[in-house]
Structure 1
């Protein structure tokens, strides 16, 4: 393999692993925000338990996701110097904003939320998590703006081989960024909803004593997952309208059709397979969710153990789908690193040996982090709503908030 091939494998590995953390984070935050809102409005202990249980999973995933993001940035700066040389002033601007939002604002608000249990007033504590949710999605906006520039460069001028921003509005309203964001957000909600529903289904089979917590969680997960699946499917197909003009080779490869117009550079034809997997998963997820809706009435789903098994087995599938979507988007713009501006072969300057060493080192790190994350999440998920660490005040058996009077 050449240096370029190894660098592409390295980026695919680090970016894919980090992306899985990000999508789960984006999927869980709105669900947890709803759970805590219901607790603040009703004061019912069940909603507090749900918030703490799913909040634990979120905090672990967020923390390790930050580290995988650092690994991805290190390898990108090391292996893809050509992108920085040509478009660093444009591509780097939204990424700098994302870093400020993700590492400063979002982390600050999350710290307030983690350590504010039993100390802050309930409404203030809830607001802190709403700010976590807002900043998480703001980070996603900035990342997709940067990626959208790689897919369809706009709002810039090339002077002496260096791109400079000329139209900030065009950069942020790039259809490649806006369209992808509209597809990503419901996809994240679909994934988050299905993870919540799947874990809840497992708990309902194994621990019937916790029915109240997990039946409510299952209902919320299914509803969010179904809504996310339908919007993901709709906004995904909507992207073809501008892709036929911006990246006709990608459309030609994934359909595969021959009406995409004149195409000089085509991506590998195998991306039609992940596109098909992603598309079919979206359809089947929507159908499954619709089928489950009647069983959510009262406690009917609890007595349908085969359905609970199916929902648990379904957990890995949305992760497979989002990876397939990432492959279609990123591999689909090949052979360009910046579409129409910089070829992938010209974007890296490392030797084959150097890239091989960094691939081995970064690969071990990100795979280790991913494995650690899933093992810890599995342990916390299996433990159930008992012995929760999040929200526990030091020296107390239960968080102070649980003994406060209800807030209406």
Structure 2
């Protein structure tokens, strides 16, 4: 493999793995916020206790995924300087601001609010504590907005002018309102909600299949997960189709590859406009990913709708084959999202900034051997983090609410010394 191929493989693998953390984080946090709000607003002590335990159970898995995902996200920033210094030189004046804002929001504001929420159980007023988890959700989606603004510029560079081969920002509003960013953000947000809803519904169905108890808690979780995933999965298909005209207008080659016609004519036109070269992306990969994403999206939408109907009179949990389907469906939204990422990123090749900067031009002057070492190291590290993350999530999901650590404290030892209690006690309810 060439140096360019290794750099692309490294970035594709690390970004793809990181994205699996992101989509679950974005998908789970609104559901956890809804659960916490429901607990805070309930006047019935039993109902409040159920929804509070739901919040802690699902919130713990969210926190684990967020914490490990942060480690993978840190690496993404460094790769631009490590392997793609040409991008920084060409578009740093435009590209840098959204990335900096995303970093400030994700690694400072969001992390701060989340830390306060984690350690606020039993210590903060009910309204303040609930507001914190909604602020976490808000900053998560604000972070996604800024990263999509940056990515949208790569897909369709707007709001700038070129001076001596360097892009300079001239219209910040155009950058913020880029259709390639805004419609894609809607698609990403709905895909994340679908992922979170399917995850909650699938884990809840598993507990019913295993008769682990907590029927009231997991019945409420199942209903919430199905409602969210049914609505989100329907609209994710609708918004996905709304991207097609934008792609056709801004990246006609990608649309031609997806459609399977007009590729040769566009290759000739692009060669005449930009000089000799291959302007056709990896057709099989793009088309297969598009077909897989579409098929999975429609399948998830159909199954969740059927399961939501079967929630009536608890048929969804009494009919075991349906419950098993919900469990088996947990990976589907992740696979569909990876397919969408491949279409978006691979489909614009050979451009890094569409129509203005190619991948080869953006590549750093790094030796093939150095890239080989860093590629192997990064991929190994990311796979280890992903394995750790899903091992922990699976362990907490299987153990159920009784094993939840979020929202519990170690009691203080009695005055004057003495042995500490052996078991942790839950923090007092509001």
| TM interval, short-chain normalised | over 0.9
- 5 Å-filtered alignment, 1:364-403, equals 364-395=380-411, 397-402=424-429
Where in structure 2 are the equivalents of 1:282-321 lying within 5 Å? 282-321=297-336
Alignment of 1:319-330 (within 5 A): 319-330=334-345
For 1:196 and 1:257, the matched residues in 2 are separated by 41
Report runs of 4+ in structure 1 exceeding 4 Å deviation.
Answer: none
* From 260, 267, 282, the counterpart of 2:281: 267
Distance 1:187 1:123, change over 3 A: same
Deviations 1:354-384 (A, max 9, x none): 1101101111111111110010001010110
Point out the more displaced range, 254-263 or 271-280: 254-263
Aligned partner of 2:23 in structure 1 is 23
Task: Show the 5 A alignment for 1:133-148.
Answer: 133-148=137-152
SS in 1 for 2:401: coil
Indicate the residue corresponding to 1:237 in structure 2.
241
Cα distance in 2, alignment partners of residues 32 and 178 from structure 1: 25
1:115-154 to structure 2, matched below 5 A, reads: 115-154=119-158
Cα offset, 1:331, TM superposition: 0.2
Give, in angstroms, the shift of residue 258 of structure 1: 2.6
How many angstroms does 1:289 deviate by? 1.4
TM-score by length of 1: 0.96
User: How far apart are 1:228 and its partner, in Å?
Assistant: 1.1
Residue in structure 1 matched with residue 34 of structure 2 by the alignment: 34
Does the residue aligned with 1:378 lie in a helix, a strand or coil? helix
Q: What is the SS of the residue equivalent to 1:209?
A: coil
Is the counterpart of residue 338 in structure 1 residue 365 in structure 2?
Answer: no
1:278 aligned partner? 293
Counterpart selection for 1:360 from 358, 376, 386:
376
Q: 1:20, CA displacement in angstroms?
A: 0.7
Contact 2:193 2:232 in 1 (8 A): yes
Q: Decide whether the 8 Å contact of 2:22 with 2:69 is kept in 1.
A: yes
Distance 1:208 1:368, change over 3 A: closer
Per-residue deviation at 1:189? 0.4
Q: Could you tell which deviates more after superposition, 355-364 or 110-119?
A: 355-364
- Following superposition, the deviation at residue 401 of structure 1 comes to 3.6
Measure, in 1, the Cα distance between the counterparts of 2:313 and 2:140: 34
Deviations 1:85-112 (A, max 9, x none): 1001111110000000011100000000
In structure 2, how many angstroms separate the alpha carbons of the residues matched to 1:260 and 1:4?
A: 25
CA distance in 1, matches of 2:64, 2:403: 16
* Mapped partners of 2:195, 2:316: distance in 1: 20
User: Residue 208 of structure 1: CA displacement?
Assistant: 4.5
CA deviation profile, 1:216-243 (whole Å, cap 9, x unmatched): 1111111111111111100111111111
Single out whichever of 328-337 and 250-259 deviates more from structure 2. 250-259
Alpha carbons 1:71, 1:366 under 8 Å: kept: no
- The answer to whether the 8 Å contact 1:197/1:217 transfers is yes
Contact persistence 2:253–2:263 (CA under 8 A): no
Shift of 1:162: 1.5
> What per-residue deviation string (whole Å, max 9, x for no partner) do you get for residues 54-86 of structure 1?
000000000011100112222232011110010
1:201 aligns with 2:205: yes
Contact 1:145 1:172 in 2 (8 A): yes
Who is 1:160 aligned against? 164
Q: Tell me the matched-pair count.
A: 403
The gaps in structure 1 that reach 5 residues or longer are none
Q: Is the 8 A contact 1:252 1:260 kept in 2?
A: no
Cα separation, 2, equivalents of 1:274 and 1:236:
14
Structure 2: stretches of 5+ with no match in the other structure: 271-278, 412-422
In structure 2, the partner of 1:71 is 75
Q: 1:398, 1:33 → 2: CA distance? A: 23
Q: CA deviation at 1:255?
A: 1.8
Instruction: Tell me which residue corresponds to 2:275.
Output: none
Name the Cα RMSD after superposition: 1.4
Report the CA distance shift for 1:241/1:261 in structure 2 as closer, same or farther (over 3 A). Answer: farther
Checking the alignment, whether the CA contact within 8 Å between 1:244 and 1:260 is kept in structure 2 is: no
Structure 2 Cα separation of the partners of residues 2 and 124 of structure 1 = 54
Secondary structure, in 3 states, of the residue corresponding to 2:107? Answer: helix
